Structure 1
């Protein structure tokens, strides 16, 4: 399914630089998030990761989503712990070296401009990040560059303007944003067409349906790339106790995984998802992902949504890519569950709150 994200506002100042009236298109209905392959204490073995990526491409996935900083212990404050920030890029470099025929089959979106102490979207950081990322790809170019998060000092207009020369030189083809609010999206799109906006969306994280992001992206015809569509694994029904998470798992820093009380408090939502999964003869993960994809059946109300579930094995990746058709009644049933099942805990925690809705 080829998507053609729309254009910017036509009332931009006459002094604004000329640019094409449509953004670089991305395709769905499902992408592949690569974070879990390398952003863990010990990355997934290369051949296993390669097999998972191969399965994604076999299943028709054409959007790979990675990060310059998706490496072991990147955010670990302990100075004695080894940090390997470029492991995700090294994985993709090795993958395309082994499977060069697959490079043209996918668009790659890479987050950058993030340091261990926080985001830096200054023009200097944009240049440094794009050039570093590009060096890992054939021909020193890739499709989409994304601000992993916006910083508090750099206006989004400056970030977008800093990216434009790299589009003109052919290093990248488009610009993406992550965890930004509706106003920031509008401001960015007034400078240059935005290819996609990556935000969290799942059955237990529905903020974008209420804070204007979904409406703004629909109006501007910007696809939403939905990260953590499985609630960081919780919506699969396989995280039942705090001990199901390794001691150094990043999720333990988030409110919804910080205690057994938190894990137990949200099981009422799992019960509703599980009931429908049993009725449909599929997994809870497939129900959760199909709910996200079903927004695409109502373009008069919603923007295009492409979930990017992560998976560390080809089997799990295939499960995630298998769409389970939901009837209108089943979709509404899940929407009622979202409204009736109050979710315990914030999406992140106080430590990370300043990095959201930039």
Structure 2
């Protein structure tokens, strides 16, 4: 079983973003049901954000409410929170002052209902040395207010620089069949060298790999994916080729394409010199969480088939 900050976590975690950061968030009742289901099925590594919503309503507020109702679940969950943006803006501010503000705000909203196991700045601030940013978080670790320092969307060089300042508990980056960059750009290599687990966000390619989206018209107008390069009409069908081929394998395995995508990530964990990899699919319904948590095993022939698919299919368009 993988460990983060010395605590055992499941091989699949749970991303909380969709519970508070969307045009029409699910009700508290639905959110609580999803959270309970994820935890009951072994997804005890939860990933949320101060930025997932508004300053008045984000992951921290939902978590406070959840652990107020279910205090016994608090010690079962390993919680990672992203922050470090300018208040109310999608702009990074990794200065010591703002990092302290962000952590203090997260702790204030959690109100002691749940320990903050990891804090990470959502993006690197180009105006602030990473040493300053992680050093500020490390001060909270030293006094026991935070369990560990995380990094998000960083380069291999930044990981190595940060690791010279303090122990890095986890690195969160996008990783999926749809985005395999970390296997080529040195990030996976750096994390393996430093024994840092990777938390893989968007492991289902922002829903693309589930096969639920068949055309650009399936994406609601108020959905942020509507503006992302890989979902644009001129490249959509070309990118769908990956999904079509994964669906063929899923049909043979008698499972869903999303389950194949998650199983593939788990199969890369600790393989061929990779670090531990923990996918954190987000879901808002019990049904979808149960689907994500179903264990599907890929044998060597399956993995070879996927390797062949990845070598032939080119994903067009940037991640953002």
Q: What range describes the TM-score normalised by the shorter chain of this pair?
A: over 0.9
Asked if the contact 1:24–1:174 (Cα under 8 Å) also holds between the matched residues in 2, the reply is: no
User: What is the aligned partner in structure 2 of residue 202 from structure 1?
Assistant: 176
Whether 1:94 and 2:65 are equivalent positions in the alignment is yes
Aligned partners of 1:297, 1:173: CA distance in 2, in Å? 24
- In 1, the alpha carbon distance for the partners of 2:109 and 2:301 equals 47
Pairing 1:336–2:308 present:
yes
In structure 1, what is the Cα distance between the partners aligned to 2:138 and 2:178?
36
Of the candidates 273, 286, 296, which is equivalent to residue 314 of structure 1?
286
Quick check: 2:61–2:110 contact (8 Å CA) kept in 1? no
Partner residue of 2:16 out of 26, 34, 41: 34
Pick aligned residue for 1:44 from 26, 33, 46 = 26
> How far is 1:85 from its partner?
5.6
For structure 2, the residue ranges without an aligned partner over 5 or more in a row are: none
- Indicate conservation of the 8 Å contact 1:197/1:222, yes or no: yes
**Structure 1, unaligned runs of 5 or more:** 5-22, 72-82, 349-358
Deviation per CA, 1:63-118: give whole Å up to 9, x if none. 000000101xxxxxxxxxxx556322111111111111100001110000123141
Instruction: Count how many residue pairs are aligned between Structure 1 and Structure 2.
Output: 317
Contact 2:7 2:78 in 1 (8 A): no
Q: Secondary structure at the match of 1:278?
A: helix
Written as runs of structure 1 = structure 2, the 5 A alignment for 1:143-158 is: 143-158=117-132
Residue 318 of structure 1, CA deviation? 1.2
Aligned partner of 1:347 in structure 2 is 319
Q: How does 1:122-201 map to 2 (within 5 A)?
A: 122-139=95-112, 141-201=115-175
Distance apart, 1:271 and its partner CA = 1.5
Out of 68, 71, 79, the residue aligned to residue 108 of structure 1 is 79
Residue number among 53, 56, 59 corresponding to 2:41 in the alignment: 59
Q: Secondary structure at the match of 1:173?
A: strand
Q: Which runs of 4+ in 1 moved over 4 A?
A: 23-26
User: Paired residue for 2:260?
Assistant: 287
Root-mean-square deviation (CA), in Å? 1.5
Equivalent-residue separation in structure 2 for 1:124 and 1:138 (angstroms): 21
Q: Do the aligned residues in 1 keep the contact of 2:14 with 2:47 (CA within 8 Å)? A: yes
- 1:325 corresponds in structure 2 to 297
Judge conservation of contact 2:20–2:57 (CA < 8 Å) in 1: no
| 8 Å Cα contact 1:25-1:195 kept in structure 2 | no
Residues 69 and 85 in structure 1, CA contact (< 8 A), matched pair in contact too: no
